[in-house]
Amino acid sequence: MALKIKDIQSPVANEMAEFEVKFRQSMKSNVMLLDKIMAYIVKRKGKQMRPLFVFLSAATTGQVSEASYRGASLIELLHTATLVHDDVVDDSTYRRGFFSVNALWKNKIAVLVGDFLLSRGMLLSIENEDFDLLKLVSVAIREMSEGELLQMEKAKKLDITEEVYYEVIRQKTASLIKACCAVGAASTGADPVTVQTMGEFGEKVGMAFQIKDDLFDYGTQEIGKPLGIDIREKKMTLPLIHALNQATSSEKNSIKRIIKRHSENTKKVNEVIDFVKEKQGLAYATDVMNTYHSDAIQMLKTFPDSPARQSLEQLVQFTIERSK
């Protein structure tokens, strides 16, 4: 039977409900336009995976505290700010099926909204002296920016190695889930070793999560991003990198030429997808994803068994079994 987020949430369902209230309060403003935009952002929230990682990590390593709520809010505020800014950079019109902030209120307002969210997150931590939590999340935001820039730099030459790919996704995706789990543990007053272990667990989950996302690019499931979008955007993901490593020089040159010159041609993009499948790129990436998954589960088992730990195990499983 397929795992459902609602069932996974059960050990911290009350905390998640209370978080909704506290998070809305943390986004309030005295400026009417800003309040209107904040209400719109809250309305289009996703599965709330990041706060769930925070609360389950806290409950696995200790007791959920007020600091746990503030930590979850800090991560959501800063992450939402990066998404608003990303939509401006990418000139995106939609986010999770809704119009993006920049599509409705233009770029200048969207950038200022992102700045407001960043400042609210930082002030929330500073006012409550949650400096350890702020440091964990600030490191993640820095790494996310570095990872994005590294990927953009390498996209020009299409020369990303497997090692560089892992570094990109570690920074771009895994760093934030790492921060969620480390913040959850730190918010309970856990010792530094426990915080580090929980953070490393989150990093493994984040790696598996991103590889799963990259696999969607070659599938047929409707997941909110078109088939082959990574190829069109000249992103070198693990299935493609592995396939190119198995190819002859002429095959490599041919595929790279398509990506560089014909990435808008659907027929040509499908040729790349077929090439990746033929060279076992999907099977290889799936194996790597499963290794990260099993490593994460082994790290989790170093903590005492509890309903929260069991739900964390299910959440890890959900990340690699999800269909969108």
Instruction: Give every CB contact of residue 125 below 8 A, 6+ residues apart in sequence.
Output: 70, 74, 131, 133, 134, 137
Tally: H helices and E strands in the chain: 16, 2
Distance CA 249, CA 255 (A): 10
Distance CA 241, CA 232 (A): 15
- Alpha-carbon 143 to chain mean position: 12
Torsion of CA 138, 203, 234, 263, to 10 degrees: -120
Distances (CA, A) of 279 to 95, 234, 241: 33, 19, 10
Name the residue with tokens 């730190």: 186
> Does an H or E element contain 98, and which?
strand 98-99
Distance CA 103, CA 105 (A): 6
Record the tokens describing residue 85, joined without a space: 């800014």
> Does an H or E element contain 137, and which?
helix 131-155
Q: What is the pTM of this model?
A: 0.89
Q: Would you call 219 helix, strand, or coil by DSSP?
A: coil
128, amino acid identity: N
At residue 223, the pLDDT reads: 42
Per-residue 3-state assignment (H helix, E strand, C coil) for 242-273 = HHHHCCCHHHHHHHHHHHHHCCCCHHHHHHHH
First to last CA, the chain: 17
Distance CA 108, CA 112 (A): 6
Q: Find out whether 188 and 152 touch, Cβ atoms under 8 Å.
A: no
With left for phi above 0 and alpha for psi between -120 and 50, is residue 28 left, alpha or beta? beta
Distance CA 59, CA 315 (A): 14
At residue 193, the pLDDT reads: 95
Phi first, then psi, for residue 98 (nearest 5°) are: -110, 160
Q: Find out whether 199 and 75 touch, Cβ atoms under 8 Å.
A: no
Q: What is the pLDDT along the chain (324 residues), one digit of tens a residue?
A: 567 788 888 899 999 989 988 888 877 788 888 888 887 777 776 678 899 999 999 999 999 999 999 999 999 988 888 888 777 777 777 666 677 777 778 888 888 888 888 898 899 899 999 999 999 999 998 999 899 888 888 777 777 889 999 999 999 999 999 999 999 999 999 999 999 999 999 999 999 999 998 898 786 454 444 566 777 777 889 999 999 999 888 888 888 888 887 777 788 888 888 899 999 999 999 999 999 999 999 999 999 999 999 999 999 998 888 766
Closest CA to 274 of 245, 235, 231, 222: 231
- Residue 311: how many CA atoms within 13 Å on its side-chain side? 23
Record the tokens describing residue 179, joined without a space: 């921060």
Q: Find out whether 61 and 188 touch, Cβ atoms under 8 Å.
A: yes
